[in-house]
C-alpha cells in the first residue's frame, strides 16, 4: 500500500472478506494505529507524496479520533542498496522521515493526542 492507494486498495482480512482501510476504520474502534508509509512513494513527485501523506493522516484521525496514531519512520536499506542508482537511498529515506517528523510536530496540537 502507499499514500496513493491507501483508502482504495482492498485487503483480505483474517476474519474473512475483502475490505478497504476506510471500511475497516469505519467499522471497528482502535486504541493505537501504526502507520509506516514512504518507501513505495519515493519514485513519485515528492511534494504530491507529502500532501497525500498528510491527507491520509488527517482522514485516519477523522475516522478514529480516539486512537493514538503512531507515525513510524522508514527503515534504512543496506549501504550497497543505497549506493545503487535508484530513488531508494538512505538519503531519500532520511528526507521523508524528516518530513514525517516535521508533519507530526506541526499537526500535534491540531489533530493528534
Cell of residue 34, nine digits? 501504526
Sketch the domain layout of the chain as residue ranges.
29-111
Q: Is 22 left (phi over 0), alpha (psi -120 to 50) or beta?
A: alpha
CB 13 within 8 A of CB 19: yes
Query: Does pLDDT of 81 surpass 70?
Result: yes
Nearest to 36 by CA among 67, 6, 77: 6
- pLDDT tens across 17-43, in order? 899 999 999 999 999 999 999 999 999
CB 112 within 8 A of CB 61: yes
- The model carries a pTM of 0.86
CB 69 within 8 A of CB 112: yes
Amino acid at each position: 500500500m502507499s499514500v496513493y492507494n491507501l483508502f482504495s486498495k482492498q485487503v483480505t482480512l483474517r476474519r474473512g472478506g475483502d475490505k478497504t482501510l476506510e471500511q475497516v476504520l469505519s467499522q471497528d474502534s482502535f486504541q493505537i494505529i501504526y502507520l509506516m508509509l514512504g518507501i513505495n512513494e519515493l519514485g513519485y513527485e515528492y511534494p504530491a507524496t507529502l500532501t497525500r501523506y498528510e491527507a491520509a493522516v488527517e482522514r485516519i484521525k477523522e475516522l478514529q479520533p480516539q486512537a493514538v496514531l503512531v507515525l513510524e519512520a522508514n527503515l534504512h536499506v543496506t549501504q550497497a542498496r543505497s549506493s545503487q542508482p535508484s530513488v531508494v537511498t538512505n538519503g531519500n529515506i532520511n528526507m521523508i522521515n524528516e518530513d514525517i517528523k516535521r508533519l507530526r510536530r506541526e499537526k500535534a496540537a491540531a489533530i493528534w493526542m
